[in-house]
Amino acid sequence: MTLDAAPTDLSGRVAFVTGAAGGIGASAVEHFAALGAKVYATDVAEKFDGPATYRAFEMLDDASLSACLDWIGEIEPDILFNNAALFDMGSILEAGDLAQLDRLFGVNVRAFYAIMQAASKSMVSVGKAGSIINMASQAGHRGEALVAHYCATKAAVISYTQSAALALAPHKIRVNAISPGVIDTPMWKTVDGLFAKFEGKEPGQKKREVGAAVPLGYMGAPSDIARAAVFLASDQSAYMTAQTIGVDGGNVLR
């Protein structure tokens, strides 16, 4: 029997990564580059240390976002890791200020969609059979009392992933999403602090609790998500589109 083993080699591919300055995005940059891809990356931070050509953009500023979209057209990616996002908390009764909703939807949905659209237009214009990987979340599969806006944005990511996959299938462009569970990134210091504020917990308590509650018994690492991104970027997943893969240690049963 001849084994048809599709490669994970990304040599000759061009990858564009958003939210690249730390955590999951930084790990994705390292994994893509290690497998041979030419990587371009962006985040709001001015400083970046990684194997990528980097530019800083502010996704909530229309002029900056427009410049980012122009850059995507110039580099002509065939891999998009659409990762940039904001997180915040507040109960339905207390989060009456719509500014939080506007910020989260501005980055997590509006800018996310604009970047996905720009990348897909570039792929179609040059005839690339590309792979778009959107970052969803376990929060996009269920509501959470204190995280309503964030949950709603990630549910939108899942829905847009499905619609884009169907629209782009005739162009041989695959669109999938990853739903991380609790991942031990620098952002968790902020998340833990918010839970301490809203739930009256001690610093570090929430992080310990959520890790222990995962069926596998611990929080995931950024590399766990990056490896899933490599799978979706490579020919290993050539017959997959419109799917959302849970990388969450068993937190959400689908």
This prediction's pTM: 0.95
In a domain, 79, yes or no: yes
In a domain, 204, yes or no: no
In the chain, which residues have pLDDT < 70?
A: 1-5, 95-96
110: domain range? 14-184+220-247
Residue 119: which residues within 8 A CB-CB, separation 6 or more?
Answer: 16, 72, 77, 80, 82, 130, 132
In a domain, 91, yes or no: yes
In the chain, how many domains are there?
Answer: 1
- Neighbouring C-beta atoms of residue 160, cutoff 10 Å: 20
Alpha carbon 164 to its chain centroid, in Å, reads: 15
| CATH number, domain containing residue 19 | 3.40.50.720
* Exposed / middle / buried, residue 96 (Cβ in 10 Å: 0-12, 13-18, 19+): exposed
**Strand locations in the chain (E):** 14-18, 38-43, 53-56, 79-82, 131-135, 174-180, 244-247
CA distance from start to end of the chain: 34
Looking at residue 187, what is its pLDDT? 87
b (16+ CB within 10 A) / e for 3-30:
eeeeebebeebbbbbbbbbbbbbbbbbb
Whose structure tokens read 């001849």? 2
40: left (phi over 0), alpha (psi -120 to 50) or beta: beta
Q: Give 220-248 pLDDT, tens digit per residue.
A: 999 999 999 999 999 999 999 999 999 99
Distance CA 194, CA 213 (A): 19
Which has the closest alpha carbon to 89: 217, 164, 193? 193
Pairing relationship of beta strands 79-82 and 53-56 according to DSSP bridges: unpaired
In a domain, 116, yes or no: yes
In a domain, 209, yes or no: no
In a domain, 213, yes or no: no
In a domain, 203, yes or no: no
The DSSP output letter for 139 is G
In a domain, 172, yes or no: yes
Looking at residue 90, what is its pLDDT? 83
Residues labelled catalytic: 150
Distance CA 168, CA 174 (A): 7
Looking at residue 65, what is its pLDDT? 98
Report the percentage of the chain scoring pLDDT > 90. Answer: 86
